[in-house]
């Protein structure tokens, strides 16, 4: 809405009163800012001609919980939603945000007749934004100058492939040769832990994350609408990339007017490959646990 990327936003929620209140609040917001985007409350029939479906349905994450703790509650909700979405004839791009993100993305990929290019999760896109913020702060550099991504699960088993980190276009090893005083600051296992804990810290303080993930979704939508060809780590269903199949996991994707136009298969070190496969196994195990119940 703030970026005026779309003409109309339709809110669909089992709690219609909450959706109406959200609509009214957003209308006040848009009026104050002079934004002209139509906002209304609707139902699943509105999916029929929607360009994007942003899936945020699921159980809220409570303070002290991991994303995995939301598994059963979220899938109890999702199992009631996929039917109406299919029946609506939706044929746009589905971007899933609900946690646990990768398991949800895989479930929606298998449940809906949409191609991988138009059915994926936000994956480690937000983790990557948090990583760039943390590293930029540590070394006193503009965050956009930090070229680094998070891969794997949107959760505790994600990792930073250090072999593909550069700062200001300078590969990490060379950067540390030029700025050796930053070596202690750029300890990526510790940085990864900080990234892992960011969401939980926000939830502990205010009960939910909203602005970071909202801006992340808007970035993905913008890349598709404007054919920006951004590389964004998304939870995409793998078909042999990285020697993995039948799992959705955070990997760098080229995003343009057709959605995911290519999954980039990075050359990882042996240690990074091991971390990636372990993360895939964790996601796969969670999916197999829940799919028996839905």
Catalytic residue set = 154
10 Å CB burial of residue 217 (0-12, 13-18, 19+) is: middle
Q: Which residue has the tokens 């990327």?
A: 5
C-alpha–C-alpha distance, residues 24 and 266, integer Å: 45
Q: Which residues contact 21 (CB under 8 A, 6 or more apart)?
A: none
C-alpha–C-alpha distance, residues 150 and 144, integer Å: 15
DSSP H/E element including 11:
strand 8-11
Tell me the backbone φ, ψ of residue 156, rounded to 5 degrees: -70, -15
C-alpha–C-alpha distance, residues 229 and 202, integer Å: 31
CB 217 within 8 A of CB 122: yes
DSSP H/E element including 228:
none
Residues in the chain: 294
């Amino acid at each position: 809405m703030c970026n005026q990327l779309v003409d109309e936003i339709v809110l669909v929620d089992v709690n219609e009163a909450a959706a109406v209140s959200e609509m009214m609040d957003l209308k006040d917001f848009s009026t104050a800012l002079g934004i002209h985007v139509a906002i209304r409350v609707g139902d699943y029939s509105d999916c029929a001609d929607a360009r994007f479906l942003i899936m945020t349905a699921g159980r809220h994450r409570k303070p002290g919980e991991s994303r995995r703790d939301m598994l059963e509650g979220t899938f109890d909700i999702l199992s009631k939603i996929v039917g109406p979405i299919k029946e609506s004839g939706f044929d746009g791009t589905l971007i899933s945000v609900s946690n646990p993100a990768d398991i949800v993305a895989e479930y929606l990929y298998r449940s809906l007749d949409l191609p991988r290019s138009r059915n994926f999760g936000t994956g480690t896109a937000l983790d990557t934004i948090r990583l760039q913020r943390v590293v930029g702060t540590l070394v006193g550099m503009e965050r956009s100058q930090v070229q680094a991504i998070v891969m794997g699960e949107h959760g505790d088993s994600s990792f930073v492939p250090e072999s593909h980190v550069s700062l200001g276009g300078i590969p990490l090893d060379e950067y540390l040769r030029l700025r050796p005083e930053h070596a202690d600051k750029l300890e990526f296992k510790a940085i990864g832990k900080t990234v892992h804990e960011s969401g939980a810290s926000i939830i502990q303080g205010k009960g939910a994350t909203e602005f970071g993930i909202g801006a992340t979704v808007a970035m993905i939508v913008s890349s598709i609408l404007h054919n920006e060809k951004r590389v964004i780590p998304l939870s995409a269903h793998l078909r042999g990339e990285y020697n993995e199949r039948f799992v959705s996991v955070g990997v760098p994707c080229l995003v343009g007017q057709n959605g995911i136009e290519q999954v980039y298969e990075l050359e990882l070190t042996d240690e990074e490959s091991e971390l990636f496969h372990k993360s895939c196994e964790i996601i796969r195990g969670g999916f197999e646990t829940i799919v028996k119940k839905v």
